[in-house]
C-alpha cells in the first residue's frame, strides 16, 4: 500500500465506523498532513468514543490488509476498553502485512483536551484545536505543528488558535494584524505580555512550553511504571502464542484487571501532578520563579481524567 492508499484506507475505516453510528476521527500526524503540515509518520492515530469500542473492535476483526488480520501490537498495548481509556491509556493495533506494517493507535480521549474532542470535528478529522493540544508533548519535533495549527485557526476565525502560538516572533506578527480577545488572554497570561510587547514574553512562552513538556514526561514515566507489570504478565500469559484478536482482547482485559490501574493520574491526583511539574521546573532551576506566575492554569486540560 502506498501512502495515498494508506490515507484512503484509514479514512475508509472512519467512514465505515460512522456508518454504524460510531463517533470517531483521525488525529495526529495524518491530521497534520490533512491540514497542510507535512509529517513523516504514516501510522494513524484514531480518536474513538469509548462507548463504541465494541463496534470498533468488531470492525478491526473483520478488516484485513493484504489478507493479513489485525492484531494488538506486541505486549505493550492495554486493552481497548473504556475503563482504561478513561484514565488516559491508549490501545495499539497493527496489520503485519507482507508489504509493511500498517499501524493504528486508538485514543478514547484526546490527551490534554480541554473539552470533549467530539465537539470539534472537521470531516473525517479531529479539529485543529484537538490535534494541536495532543501535540504538546515532550518531543521537540511536535512543537512547530502546534504553532502552525494555531496560525491556521486564527486565520479561520477561531480565537482558540491564540492558545497554540508558542514562538515569540510568530505570536507578535499575528498580533500586529489581529486582536486577541480578552477572554482568551484571561486563559493564557503570557498573551498579556505579548499584547504589551513586554521583554519577558520569550521567557514566559518558553516556560509554558517547558511546563507542557514536563507534564508529558512525568505522565509517560508514571504510565510506563504502571504498565511494566502488565507487560510482564502479558508476556507470560501469551507465551509467544499467536492469538486471534478477540481471544487476545479477552486475555488483555483479564490481565489488565489484575495488573493495570485504570486511572493512575487521577489516583495520584491531577492537582498534585500539575503542581509537582510546576515545582520541578522551579526547583530544577529550569525556569526563574518570577516567570512561573505567567504560566497558565493547565488543570483544565486534565479535568476529563477526574470526570
Partner 1 sequence: MKRAPLTYNPPKRSAEDALAFREIEREYHVRAFGEELARVNLDLTKEERIRYIQWMRENAQKRGVKTERPPPYGFKDDDGNE
Comparing CB distances to partner 1, the nearer of 237 and 292 is 237
Residue 74 interacts with partner 1 (CB under 8 A): yes or no:
yes
Among 43, 159, 198, 276, the residue binding partner 1 under the rule CB under 8 A is 43
Q: Please tell me the distance from the alpha carbon of residue 185 to that of residue 195, in angstroms, as a whole number.
A: 9
By CB under 8 A, residue 22 contacts partner 1: no
Q: Is there a contact between 17 and 52 (Cβ–Cβ < 8 Å)?
A: yes
DSSP 251-287: HHHHHHHHH--S-HHHHH-HHHHHHHHHHHHHHTTSS
Structure letter (DSSP) for residue 302? S
38 makes contact with partner 1 (CB under 8 A): yes
Closest CA to 191 of 162, 218, 228: 162
Helix (H, G, I), strand (E, B) or coil at 258: helix
Contact 15, 77 (CB under 8 A): no
The nearest distance, CB 118 to partner 1, in angstroms, is 16
Nearest CA among 220, 57, 61 for reference residue 136? 220
Would you give the binding string for partner 1 spanning residues 130-159, x where CB under 8 A is met? --------------x--xx--xxx-xxxx-
Q: What residues numbered 240-299 form the site for partner 1, per CB under 8 A?
A: none
Kindly indicate which of the ranges 226-234, 259-267, 283-291, 293-301 contains the residues binding partner 1, using the contact rule CB under 8 A. Answer: 226-234
Q: Which is nearer to partner 1, 162 or 291 (CB)?
A: 162
How far is CA 246 from each of CA 171, 243, 253, rounded to the nearest angstrom? 49, 8, 11
Whose CA is closest to 71, among 46, 104, 100, 93? 93
- Do the Cβ atoms of 70 and 93 come closer than 8 Å? yes
Query: What's the grid cell of residue 282?
Result: 522551579
105 binds partner 1 (CB under 8 A): yes
By C-beta, is 43 or 282 nearer to partner 1? Answer: 43
What distances in angstroms separate CA 78 from CA 67, 195, 228, one per listed residue? Answer: 25, 45, 11
Judged by CB under 8 A, the stretch of 37-45, 244-252, 257-265, 270-278 that binds partner 1 is 37-45
Task: Sketch the per residue contact string, 158 through 197, with partner 1: x for CB under 8 A, - otherwise.
Answer: x--------x-xx--xx--x--------------------
Give the number of residues in contact with partner 1, rule: CB under 8 A.
55
> Which residues sit at the interface with partner 1, rule CB under 8 A?
2-4, 7, 33-43, 73-77, 90, 92, 94, 103, 105, 122-123, 125, 128, 144, 147-148, 151-153, 155-158, 167, 169-170, 173-174, 177, 220-221, 223-224, 227-228, 231-232, 234-235
Amino acid at each position: 500500500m502506498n501512502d495515498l492508499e494508506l490515507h484512503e484506507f484509514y479514512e475508509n475505516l472512519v467512514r465505515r465506523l460512522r456508518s454504524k453510528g460510531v463517533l470517531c476521527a483521525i488525529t495526529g500526524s495524518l491530521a497534520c498532513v490533512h491540514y497542510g503540515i507535512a509529517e513523516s509518520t504514516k501510522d494513524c492515530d484514531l480518536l474513538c468514543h469509548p462507548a463504541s469500542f465494541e463496534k470498533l473492535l468488531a470492525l478491526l476483526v473483520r478488516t484485513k490488509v493484504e489478507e493479513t488480520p489485525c492484531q494488538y501490537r506486541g505486549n505493550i498495548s492495554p486493552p481497548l476498553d473504556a475503563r482504561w481509556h478513561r484514565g488516559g491509556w491508549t490501545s495499539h493495533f497493527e496489520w503485519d502485512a507482507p508489504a509493511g506494517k500498517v499501524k493504528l493507535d486508538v485514543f478514547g480521549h484526546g490527551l490534554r483536551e480541554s473539552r470533549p474532542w467530539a465537539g470539534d470535528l472537521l470531516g473525517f478529522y479531529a479539529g485543529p484545536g484537538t490535534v494541536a493540544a495532543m501535540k504538546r508533548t515532550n518531543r521537540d519535533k511536535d512543537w512547530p505543528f502546534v504553532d502552525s495549527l494555531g496560525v491556521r485557526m486564527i486565520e479561520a476565525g477561531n480565537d482558540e488558535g491564540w492558545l497554540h502560538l508558542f514562538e515569540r516572533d510568530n505570536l507578535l506578527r499575528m498580533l500586529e494584524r489581529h486582536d486577541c480577545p480578552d477572554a482568551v488572554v484571561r486563559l493564557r497570561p503570557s498573551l498579556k505580555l505579548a499584547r504589551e510587547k513586554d521583554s519577558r514574553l520569550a521567557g514566559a512562552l518558553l516556560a509554558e512550553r517547558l511546563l507542557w513538556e514536563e507534564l508529558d514526561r512525568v505522565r509517560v514515566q508514571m504510565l510506563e511504571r504502571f504498565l511494566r507489570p502488565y507487560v510482564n504478565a502479558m508476556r507470560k500469559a501469551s507465551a509467544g502464542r499467536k492469538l486471534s484478536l478477540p481471544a487476545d482482547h479477552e486475555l488483555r482485559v483479564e490481565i489488565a484487571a489484575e495488573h493495570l490501574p485504570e486511572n493512575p493520574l487521577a489516583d495520584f491526583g491531577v492537582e498534585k501532578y500539575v503542581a509537582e511539574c510546576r515545582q520541578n521546573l522551579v526547583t530544577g532551576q529550569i525556569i526563574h520563579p518570577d516567570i512561573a506566575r505567567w504560566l497558565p492554569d493547565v488543570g483544565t486540560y486534565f479535568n476529563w481524567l477526574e470526570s
